[in-house]
Structure 1
């Protein structure tokens, strides 16, 4: 769903984003290539995961999405207050530094949750924010402090795995994310991966994906992130994500997510 770190408000290997949403909406088949943590502030988050089933995170909880998660997610605002959360994305390198020395999980790792009580995840988020806000920290100390939230997760029973074999559709998504506004065409993407167009099509088809669907999902999911984490006009979001017109973006967004882009920021009809 998000690009690789760093992001605004982030550090090499870590990005932190404030996420807000005014209207309840369900987003199906969102893909998280990297490890992502949601620290819920207000409202709640419902997640359907193929491995973990249904989980609900309440205010004060943290929900942990392992790399390569594909989930259906619903953000639920309160009656008179938007849903809000702090999202923290960690690079594969940091995950491997903490979890690679452990016995690998016996099976697939799903979404995990640590409740506000007794775990108090907000204290860990505060530590991370203070680290990122201190430009005077020597790099080795900064790196150690950025690892502390992951050590805390590990010691509280959270299972994560390091970098595995990246699936074809994920590799294509990562390429598209380098320049979402570019007019990507199948032949040039196939050439990037040193394949003929026919071989490239078969390569994706074996994992059940089509290039056009990957391109559309990558752009729309980035658009969703920008609507939730910035105040950029919808017209600018559309152009930044590779759509020729705002109306084209709005139509595609509504078809994909069942809600108009403006409703992400405003509860009005």
Structure 2
């Protein structure tokens, strides 16, 4: 839910340098529809989509890199529009984006992403004080070794038999690759109120949250919470609904959970009520994310 300024970096794979076996390994071995997380390190998932859809005003609150395997992704942030094709990647920091995912000729869009925990970024930044956050857009090549580092980092998050220290090291290797390309995430030691609120709600999206309980958990008065949200043009209800719908979208794209299960997971006992809310937020039914029109 972060509303701070954002940047994104386009990283382009050089066709002459790309090892096609790496892309094949992404599609075959590395493409299970689930979300994997390691505490204080990060998360990863693969994405599949079978319809061309536009997602308006999606908030990115964690530093992330998205690698496109099939199809194309278009992102718009403020006045900047960036198209990312298969074999390319995009790095996202905090911000709000309009996103279009377009399936390839065979009708499938595929991608995978890595996201870093904020504490990991902060710890990394304290050890690299000479590396400054880079905000402009950069067009760069992904070398095969960089691709291998991305896949190793993904495996470190997916496999429980890999020690946490190794998983952290693998995610840091990707950060070093980005630093070598002039790209660094900004350490945010004091998250904004809206970021803290979004993280709280996302941790228990099926909970029956009230403004009073949230204010207590954030150690802030209800009137102050309302006033500070209003200053950003938000209400508590707006943020709760958007957090739940954004998580539902991620589950639809990254897992094979049934829609009624996803509805329960994000706080809706009625799948039909969930579908109405989802359509109101995004403009299409949940089933359309998986290619089933209604």
TM more than 0.5: yes
Count of matched residue positions in the alignment of Structure 1 and Structure 2: 258
Counterpart residue number, 2:88: 61
Q: Is the 8 A contact 1:61 1:113 kept in 2?
A: no
Whole-angstrom CA distance in 2 between matches of 1:70 and 1:35: 13
* Residue ranges of structure 2 left out of the alignment (5+ in a row): 2-33
| 1:31 and 2:69 are equivalent in the alignment | no
Kindly provide the CA deviation profile for residues 162-220 of structure 1, in whole angstroms up to 9, marking residues without a partner as x: 12532222211111112111111112212323333222211211222111100000000
Partner of 1:102: 130
Task: Encode CA deviations 1:94-140: one digit per residue, 9 max, x unaligned.
Answer: 2234444135448xx37x5655x454553332232344466665654
Q: Say which SS state the counterpart of residue 160 (structure 1) adopts.
A: coil
* Rounded Cα–Cα distance in structure 1 between residues aligned with 2:83 and 2:227: 38
Which residue in the other structure is 2:74 paired with?
Answer: 46
Distance (Å, rounded) in 1 between the aligned partners of 2:67 and 2:236: 33
State the Cα distance separating 1:36 from its structure 2 match: 1.2
Aligned residues of 2:43 and 2:157 also touching (Cα < 8 A):
no
Cα-Cα RMSD: 2.4
Matching of residue 260 in structure 1 with residue 285 in structure 2 = yes
TM-fit CA distance, 1:146: 2.5
Contact kept in structure 2, 1:168 and 1:207, CA below 8 Å: no
**Residues 202 and 18 of structure 1: CA distance in aligned 2, closer, same or farther (over 3 Å):** same
Deviations 1:137-168 (A, max 9, x none): 56544432321011001101213211253222
TM score, norm. by length of structure 2: 0.79
1:209 counterpart SS class: coil
What is aligned with 1:16?
44
Q: Which stretch shifts more, 165-174 or 254-263?
A: 165-174
Equivalent residues in 2 for 1:1-269 (5 A)? 8-12=35-39, 13-50=41-78, 53-66=80-93, 68-100=94-126, 101-105=129-133, 109=135, 112=137, 117=141, 119-120=143-144, 121-132=146-157, 140-266=165-291, 268-269=293-294
Cα gap change, 1:130/1:211 in structure 2, threshold over 3 Å: closer, same or farther?
Answer: closer
Paired position in structure 1 for 2:7: none
Distance 1:246 1:133 in 2: 30
- The answer to whether the Cα contact below 8 Å between 1:63 and 1:113 also exists between their aligned partners in 2 is no
Q: Are 1:40 and 1:62, in contact at CA under 8 Å, matched by a contact in 2?
A: yes
CA separation in 2, counterparts of 1:137 and 1:220? 32
Cα displacement (A) at 1:9: 3.2
The separation in 2 between residues aligned to 1:25 and 1:139, in whole angstroms, is 36
Matched residues in 1 for 2:158 and 2:283: separation? 38
TM-score by length of 1: 0.86
The answer for unaligned runs of 5 or more in structure 1 is: 2-6
